[in-house]
């Protein structure tokens, strides 16, 4: 009988995991080449569970077998050993019961549901748990990951030594990339591998050489250097970074990235993360002691901390600061990041119960947009106390609701002071399967304690007004013979708010809402509490949609609506005259899904008074069966926005893809952002090259950058990628 303590499968399993040390990269890569005609996947699929080998019987098949009590047992001729999913084949197998040693002097082949192994000879002692295996070739079952070692030495089962090691995930006799090492030590107790003379070759060209390196061989985290990445841009020059991962404790870690820009100098970037049973947080920072261009200190740091104080209460701290207004313009990688206007810093506590919510938060803002003047900077709120209540009264749908807020506004320029706002209301929700009615009556009261900073004005003004609304709608369905269901959903919303003179009130945080479909059913046209719009108006809206009753897939939907004013609107933003319009702009939105691959959307606001379009959005997306993606969108808002955005991703064949994007402002006759590139995928490596240009400031300066990313599937990522054009693709 053969003892079951065979360490070779364990050893080579750890070896394969060690050399594919980045599992997140490896398995993501395996999903990228779904369209490739590869002989085998880059990595074997993960098994749901390991077979129970210890309780499984061992079957031995051989042509000849000699054994005696206390004597050497020998099996000769086509020796096959099976247990559960394990299979071992050799020409001669000898077992010495006195020394508990197994010897296979000839070729050995082993295979299970994960590994396949072959060697020229093997010798193993179960008494000392030491062994030696010569000329080992190994691979992952059902994958192209494979390698070899001239010699494998197992010491006491928990320590192993491999010499002249080779690993790749490329199929064929001439792999495109190979990782070799002169010596590899595996410590299973500590979960650490140590390699000497490691070299990575890509098309026979050495691209990385590490005389000494350590890495984890299991799921335990390990401190050490990560793979470097590079990039280049027209204003910052060539960039190279060597990240280092620091496993501080089981609940703490950090990534430190020394970076060097040829045009800016040396920068230190880092991230520190921690988590406990009740708290969690992270610190991110960028630190450039001396910028070669500006001769100044440049930095950015962001710290956030969340804590669960009790079952109902929690806290949040967010600190986000930057050294100067141009930091994001100089070091961002996208138009969205470069165009940030301010950073929010806040600290506070939140609580909630069955029918209530409460928050006490203080927040300040750092303006990072040079075009924002001091009089337009956001106010600091020191603090903001908010309370919400939504409590049922009985079982007939009657509810008591309350929104209350107390805020102190502070700023270096302009009026400061406190504001108390309270809006209690009763709402009756009467609902059935075919419709609903929601009458509501409430009273909104707002008062101030102000410091006008030398200007004339009431130091304690207030405002109070009733708010009455009635919201009702119907749900009607029609089932057609072709399996389609069409709905008709009319909705009516009446709002009455008496006019109150508010010219003497300050404007801390109020502005008109961007008019859209949701604004047809809102009780106020303004954000914040400094302005409450007057209203005597009726909203008429209608939605109709068609869907497949078998699959639930919506084929199309059409929504439109308009507000009709019975009285002129008198509460307006500063310096605006009261509106004499009898109706709001007409809003319509049409969404079409004619196939699973094609969808489009059209929405518009039409001004009847001036016979012109105020807002328009036209978009279409298409995803073909061959993987081609196309997206085009046109956005228009009168006097503020007129631009189009076109994105395109095209597989040329199973290996080559091209991509491009153009975002252009017609109003400014200026390019906002553009990128173009290509991607190449093979069975074991991928290359992505993207050239990108985007507007980084209001002066018309552009950033031109090239992102190059080399992916060695099953091993690592080299270089820096860019954000995908379509988030359901890994482009």
At residue 720 the predicted structure's pLDDT band, cuts being 50, 70 and 90, is low
Say if residues 475 and 487 touch (Cβ distance below 8 Å).
Answer: yes
* pLDDT reported for residue 536: 95
pLDDT at 44: 46
pLDDT at position 137 is 86
Whether 130 has a pLDDT exceeding 80, the answer reads no
pLDDT at 576: 61
pLDDT computed for residue 186 by the predictor: 74
Q: Alpha-carbon distance 190 to 184, whole Å?
A: 15
| 214 pLDDT more than 60 | yes
pLDDT higher than threshold 60 for residue 597: yes
> Residue 729 has what pLDDT?
52
Q: What is the pLDDT of residue 724?
A: 66
Convert 323-345 to b/e letters by CB count within 10 Å (16 or more is b).
bbebbbbbbbbebeebbeeebeb
Q: How confident is the model at residue 326 (pLDDT cuts 50, 70, 90)?
A: confident
Pairing of strands 435-451, 462-474: antiparallel
User: Which pairs count as long-range contacts for 52-59, CB under 8 Å and 24+ apart, including other chains?
Assistant: 52/84, 53/4, 53/83, 53/84, 53/85, 53/86, 54/4, 56/83, 56/84, 57/83, 58/1, 58/2, 58/4, 58/82, 58/83, 59/83
Q: Is the pLDDT of residue 311 over 70?
A: yes
Q: What is the pLDDT of residues 417-465, one digit of tens each?
A: 999 999 999 999 998 889 999 999 999 999 999 998 878 888 999 999 9
Note whether 363 and 346 are within 8 A (CB): yes
- Contact assessment for residue 643 and residue 662, using Cβ atoms and an 8 Å cutoff: no
Mean pLDDT of 330-352: 86
Question: Closest by alpha carbon to 364, among 341, 342, 381, 349?
Answer: 381
Query: Three-state SS for 500?
Result: coil
Mean pLDDT across 585-596: 90
pLDDT of residue 189: 73
Report DSSP letters for 553-587, one per residue: -EEEEEEEEEEEESS-B---STT-PPB--SBPPEE
**CB of 402 closer than 8 Å to CB of 424:** yes
pLDDT at 139 (0 to 100): 76
592, pLDDT greater than 60? yes
| Tokens coding 200 | 């990575």
- What is the rounded average pLDDT of the residues 168-186? 84
The predicted pLDDT at position 34 comes to 44
130, burial (CB in 10 Å: exposed 0-12, middle 13-18, buried 19+): middle
CA–CA distances in Å: residue 234 to residues 128, 692, 701, 703, 724: 63, 11, 11, 6, 22
| pLDDT score of 693 | 87
Residue 287, pLDDT > 90, answer: yes
Q: Which of 236-240, 308-312, 388-392, 445-449 comes out lowest in average pLDDT? A: 236-240
pLDDT, tens only, 517-548: 888 999 999 999 999 999 999 999 999 999 98
For the cut 90, the answer to whether the pLDDT of residue 25 exceeds it is no
Q: How many CB atoms within 10 Å of residue 560?
A: 19
Which has the minimum average pLDDT: 63-67, 319-323, 344-348, 674-678?
Answer: 63-67
* pLDDT at res. 607: 84
Show the CA angle centred on residue 288, arms to residues 286 and 290, nearest 5°. Answer: 165
Given a cut of 60, whether residue 306 has pLDDT beyond it is yes
Q: Which of 150-164, 439-453, 684-698 has the lowest mean pLDDT?
A: 150-164
Q: Can you tell me the distance from the alpha carbon of 333 to that of 489, in angstroms, rounded to the nearest whole number?
A: 45
Q: Three-state SS for 397?
A: coil
Q: Say which range, 83-92, 207-216, 571-580, has the weakest mean pLDDT.
A: 571-580
> 637 and 614 in contact (C-beta within 8 Å)?
yes
Half-sphere exposure of 71 (CA within 13 A, CB side): 6
Quick check: 2 and 102 in contact, CB under 8 A? yes
Tell whether the model's pLDDT for residue 45 goes beyond 70.
no
Q: Which run of H or of E encompasses 692?
A: strand 685-695
User: For residues 79 and 91, is the Cβ–Cβ distance under 8 A?
Assistant: yes
pLDDT at 75: 86
**364-383 pLDDT per residue, tens:** 999 888 778 888 889 999 99
User: For residue 77, is pLDDT > 70?
Assistant: yes
Secondary structure letter of residue 456 according to DSSP: -
Whether 16 shows a pLDDT value over 60: the answer reads no
pLDDT above 90: residue 95 = no
Q: Which of 617, 614, 687, 675 is nearest to 648 (CA)?
A: 675
pLDDT digits (tens, 9 = 90+) for 382-411: 999 999 999 999 888 899 999 999 999 999
Q: Which residues of 310-322 are buried (b: 16+ CB within 10 A; e: fewer)?
A: eeeebbbebbbeb
User: Average pLDDT in the 47-55 region?
Assistant: 59
Rg of the Cα trace of the chain?
35
Question: Across the chain, what does the average pLDDT equal?
Answer: 83
Q: In this model, does residue 1 exceed pLDDT 50?
A: no
Domain spans of the chain? 8-222, 426-618
CATH number listed for the domain at residues 8-222: 2.60.450.10
What pLDDT shows up at residue 33? 40
Residues 6 or more apart whose CB falls under 8 angstroms from that of 305 comprise 279, 280, 281, 315, 316, 317, 318
On the question of pLDDT at 55 being above 80, the answer is no
Task: For residue 225, give the 3-state DSSP assignment.
Answer: strand
**237 has which bridge partners?**
233
Give the mean model confidence (pLDDT) for residues 60-71. Answer: 79
Q: Report the alpha-carbon angle 686-687-689, nearest 5.
A: 155
Its pTM stands at: 0.75
What is the Cα 403 distance to its own chain's centre? 33
**126: confidence class by pLDDT, cuts 50, 70, 90:** low
């Amino acid at each position: 009988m053969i003892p079951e303590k065979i360490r070779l499968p364990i050893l080579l399993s750890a070896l394969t995991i060690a050399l594919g040390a980045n599992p997140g990269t490896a398995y993501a890569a395996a999903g990228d080449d779904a369209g490739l005609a590869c002989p085998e996947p880059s990595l074997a699929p993960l098994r749901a569970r390991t077979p129970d080998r210890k309780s499984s019987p061992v079957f031995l098949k051989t042509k000849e077998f000699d054994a005696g009590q206390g004597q050497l047992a020998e099996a000769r001729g086509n020796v096959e050993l099976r247990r559960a999913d394990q299979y071992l084949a050799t020409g001669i197998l000898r077992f010495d019961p006195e020394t508990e040693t197994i010897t296979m002097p000839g070729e050995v082949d082993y295979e299970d549901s994960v590994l396949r192994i072959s060697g020229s000879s093997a010798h193993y002692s179960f008494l000392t748990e030491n062994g030696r295996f010569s000329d080992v070739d190994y691979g992952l079952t059902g994958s192209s990951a494979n390698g070899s070692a001239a010699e494998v030495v197992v010491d006491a089962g928990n320590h192993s030594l491999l010499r002249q090691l080779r690993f790749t995930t490329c199929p064929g006799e001439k792999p495109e990339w190979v990782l070799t090492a002169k010596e590899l030590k595996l410590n299973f107790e500590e979960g650490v591998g140590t390699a000497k003379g490691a070299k990575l070759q890509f098309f026979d060209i050495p691209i990385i050489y590490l005389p000494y390196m350590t890495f984890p061989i299991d799921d335990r985290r390990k401190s050490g250097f990560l793979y470097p990445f590079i990039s280049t841009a027209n204003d910052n020059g060539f960039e190279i970074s060597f990240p280092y991962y620091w496993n501080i404790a089981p609940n703490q870690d950090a990534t430190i990235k020394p970076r060097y820009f040829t045009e800016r100098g040396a920068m230190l970037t880092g991230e520190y993360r921690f988590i406990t049973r009740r708290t969690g947080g992270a610190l991110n920072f960028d630190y450039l002691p001396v910028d070669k261009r500006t001769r100044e200190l440049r930095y950015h740091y962001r710290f956030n901390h969340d804590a669960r104080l009790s079952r109902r209460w929690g806290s949040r701290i967010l600190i986000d600061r930057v050294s100067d207004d141009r930091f994001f313009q100089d070091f961002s990688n996208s138009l969205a990041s470069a165009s940030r206007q301010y950073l929010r810093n806040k600290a506070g506590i939140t609580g909630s119960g069955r029918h209530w919510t409460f928050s006490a938060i203080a927040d300040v803002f750092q303006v990072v947009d040079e075009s924002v003047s001091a009089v337009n900077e956001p106010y600091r709120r020191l603090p903001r106390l908010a309370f919400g209540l939504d409590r049922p009264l009985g079982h007939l749908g009657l509810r008591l609701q309350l929104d209350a807020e107390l805020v102190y506004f502070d700023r270096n320029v302009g009026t400061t002071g406190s504001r108390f706002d309270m809006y209690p209301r009763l709402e009756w929700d009467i609902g059935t399967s075919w419709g609903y009615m929601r009458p509501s009556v409430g009273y909104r009261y707002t008062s101030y304690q102000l410091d006008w900073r030398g200007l004339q004005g009431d130091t304690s003004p207030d405002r109070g007004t009733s708010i009455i609304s009635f919201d009702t709608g119907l749900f009607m369905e029609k089932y057609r013979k072709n399996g389609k269901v069409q709905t008709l959903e009319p909705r009516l919303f009446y709002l009455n708010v008496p006019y109150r003179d508010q010219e003497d009130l300050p404007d801390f945080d109020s502005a008109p809402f961007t008019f859209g479909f949701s604004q047809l059913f809102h009780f106020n046209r303004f954000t914040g509490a400094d302005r409450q719009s007057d209203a005597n108006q009726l909203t008429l809206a209608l939605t109709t949609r068609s869907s497949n009753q078998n699959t639930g897939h919506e084929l199309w939907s059409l929504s439109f609506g308009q507000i009709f004013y019975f009285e002129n609107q008198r509460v307006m933003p500063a310096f605006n005259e009261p509106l004499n319009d009898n109706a709001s702009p007409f809003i319509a939105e049409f969404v079409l899904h004619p196939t699973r691959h094609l969808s489009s959307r059209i929405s518009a606001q039409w001004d009847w008074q001036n016979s012109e379009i105020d807002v328009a959005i036209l978009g279409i997306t298409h995803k073909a069966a061959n993987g081609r993606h196309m997206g085009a969108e046109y956005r228009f808002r009168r006097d503020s926005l007129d631009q189009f955005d076109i994105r395109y991703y095209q597989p040329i064949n199973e290996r080559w893809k091209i991509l491009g994007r153009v975002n252009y402002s017609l109003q400014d006759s200026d390019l906002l952002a553009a990128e173009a590139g290509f991607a190449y995928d093979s069975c074991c490596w991928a290359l992505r090259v993207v050239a990108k240009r985007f507007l980084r400031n209001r002066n018309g300066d552009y950033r031109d950058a090239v992102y190059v990313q080399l992916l060695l599937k099953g091993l690592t990522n080299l270089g820096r990628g860019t954000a995908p054009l379509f988030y359901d693709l890994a482009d």
